[in-house]
């Protein structure tokens, strides 16, 4: 069974996912960061494969992506690195943009995901209709979840369509902003409640702006959990001996 399916079957609340950029701070740090997050008790990891034009990302993740590209990071190298951590039981999701996936070849990409223990993929700029028409069957063939996104501007009818097509959790973008933006959880409570009323039992993970224990706790009142990215990338900046930093960061969120 897909590890994400197992996770959401057995745990329903306060799930913590942490995003980090593959090949950052150094090219070969991908496996080290993943292993430390697993050891620290994160529920699943989200690994970003860098792209030169990450349109949904704020300056922190953009900077990490540029550094990773400067380090020589590629999609092929990412899969080579993922092969070295297949023993980890933690579910893993890849996040990136459609251009490098298409250059790599969609089916080849999904084959490598299956081979290296990847459970899901987030492609924010893959249109829903294009996914449904051209790629849904390939994702199903290889047992990989395509994680779909909802934003505050998504109409109710579209939300219900996304819930119908979703095969795993839905990524609930907390605000109409880039990653790393400040989040006022009180201001988006009605949005969270609206989505919950429309998706039924579909798991929801909130992202964008969750940065500390307070924002994590707040969004978990309305969702199954949250994804933290920019705040974690900041914690890794200029810190080559980051093992203790990873454990401390996760503890600061989960307690």
Helices 189-199 + 156-165 axis angle, to 10: 50
Among 29, 57, 119, 218, the one annotated catalytic: 57
**pLDDT greater than 80 at residue 173:** yes
Quote the DSSP letter at residue 27: G
The pTM score is 0.93
Reply yes or no on whether the pLDDT at 185 is more than 90.
no
- Mean per-residue pLDDT for 171-190? 68
Residue 46 annotated in active site: yes
pLDDT at 33: 95
What end-to-end distance do the CA atoms of the chain give, in Å? 30
Residue 178's pLDDT is: 44
The pLDDT score that the predictor gives to residue 207 is 92
Task: Give residues with Cβ within 8 angstroms of 240, minimum separation 6.
Answer: 25, 26
**Which pLDDT belongs to residue 58?**
73
Concerning whether 83 is annotated as a catalytic residue, the answer is no
The whole-number pLDDT of residue 241 equals 72
From the candidates 29, 38, 46, 119, give the one annotated as an active-site residue: 46
Q: pLDDT > 90: what percent of the chain?
A: 80
**The pair of three-digit structure tokens given for residue 94, joined into one six-digit string:** 């890849």
Task: List phi, psi (to 5°) of 247.
Answer: -60, -45
pLDDT, position 176? 57
Residue length, the chain? Answer: 255
| Residue 98 pLDDT | 95
**CB of 87 within 8 A of CB of 59?**
no
pLDDT for res 180: 41
């Amino acid at each position: 069974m897909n590890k994400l399916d197992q996770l959401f079957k057995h745990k329903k609340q306060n799930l913590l996912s942490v995003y980090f950029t593959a090949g950052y701070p150094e090219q070969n740090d991908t496996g080290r960061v993943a292993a430390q997050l697993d050891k620290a008790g994160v529920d699943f990891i989200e690994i970003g494969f860098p792209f030169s034009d990450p349109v949904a990302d704020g300056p922190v993740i953009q900077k990490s992506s540029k550094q990773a590209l400067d380090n020589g990071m590629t999609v092929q190298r990412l899969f080579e690195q993922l092969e070295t951590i297949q023993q980890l039981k933690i579910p893993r999701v890849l996040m990136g943009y459609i251009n490098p996936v298409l250059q790599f070849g969609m089916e080849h990409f999904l084959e490598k995901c299956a081979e290296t223990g990847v459970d899901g993929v987030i492609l924010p700029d893959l249109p829903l209709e294009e996914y449904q028409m051209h790629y849904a069957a390939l994702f199903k063939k290889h047992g990989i979840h395509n994680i779909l996104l909802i934003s505050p501007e998504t109409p109710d009818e579209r939300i219900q369509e996304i819930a119908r097509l979703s095969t795993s959790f839905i990524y609930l973008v907390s605000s109409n902003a880039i990653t790393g933006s400040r989040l006022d959880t009180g201001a988006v409570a009605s949005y969270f409640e609206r989505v919950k009323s429309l998706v039924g039992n579909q798991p929801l993970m909130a992202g964008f702006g969750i940065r500390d224990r307070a924002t994590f706790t707040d969004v978990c009142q309305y969702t199954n959990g949250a994804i933290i990215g920019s705040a974690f990338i900041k914690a890794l900046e200029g810190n080559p001996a980051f093992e203790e930093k990873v454990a401390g960061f996760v503890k600061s969120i989960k307690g």
